[in-house]
Amino acid sequence: MLYRCYAKINLTLEILRRRNDGFHELASLVHTVSLGDDLRVEPADELLTRVEGLELDPETNLVSRAAALMSTSLNERRGAELSLVKRIPAAAGLGGGSSDAAATLAALNTLWGSRLNHVALGRLAAQLGSDVPFFLRGGAAVMRGRGEQLEVLPPRTGQWLVVLVPPHDVLDKTRRLYGALAPADFSDGSITARAVHSLACGEVVQETDLVNAFTRPALEVFAGLDAAWHGAEKICERRFFLSGAGPALFAFASGRGDANEQVAKLAYPAYAVRTVKHARASARVAAPGGIEYP
């Protein structure tokens, strides 16, 4: 089995409050986009994981962790060989690791014939990360609570975007960003509610509603992000917005041609992507021996 594991962008990310358990309550409108990793899953006598395109520590490799969790939870003695080709930049706010983890759970559920339903898979996904449950289905959704509470929305497919990933080497990024939050960065969730209404009505989310509570902290934590951000806006003559905890930025494009044109102008790694309605796509073999995704 071969899957394309899609990334996501946060169209909104509001942080409402700090909870008594030490976590933060959030409201975030998220959508999967066509930038993706490839995950191949095959039968094997034991669990084996290989990664191309990025060196991942075993403790942070969510494919390995997801496979181990699935095996332990099911008391499954069969193995699997999982080969991952990374294309989504790591720790950039695009959810690549979480998408890979969700695809691993779904793929092993199929490979082993486990027949876990979506609720059971969701419980396992939540143990791996707050946004992993979203990637079991993908498309568009509002994430609430720590991110594990999902409200599925009708996706807006085919919206082209430019995704820019400035260089970054911040360790323990998420903890540092949450630690840098100030009272002015918190909000009540009303902007996300307005963006959700637009999406539910089949409309484009307005740029005035593309908010992210980490915008100010990210500019403090990521060295050079301010210059990269303003430079991209000047070069592409449009606004860019932070995705997740960053430092990935995105901007709307009028179509494929416009997105490709803007990507060609940018010095840092950039991608022309479109919104997609699923968390992953199954591949088929294409002549002469290549791989095609729908």
Q: Which residues are catalytic?
A: 8, 131
Backbone dihedral region for residue 285 (phi beyond 0: left; psi -120 to 50: alpha; all else: beta): beta
Six-digit token string for 187: 């909000």
Six-digit token string for 120: 């059971």
Six-digit token string for 3: 């899957």
Q: What are phi and psi of 291, to 5 degrees?
A: -120, 135
Q: What torsion, rounded to 10 degrees, do the Cα atoms 99, 289, 286, 275 define?
A: 30
Q: Number of H helices and number of E strands within the chain? A: 8, 14
Q: Quick one: 165 exposed, middle or buried, by C-beta within 10 A (0-12, 13-18, 19+)? A: buried
The residues, any chain, with a CB within 8 Å of residue 292's CB and separated by 6 or more, are: 283, 284, 285, 286
Q: d(Cα 130, Cα 89) in Å, to the nearest integer?
A: 19
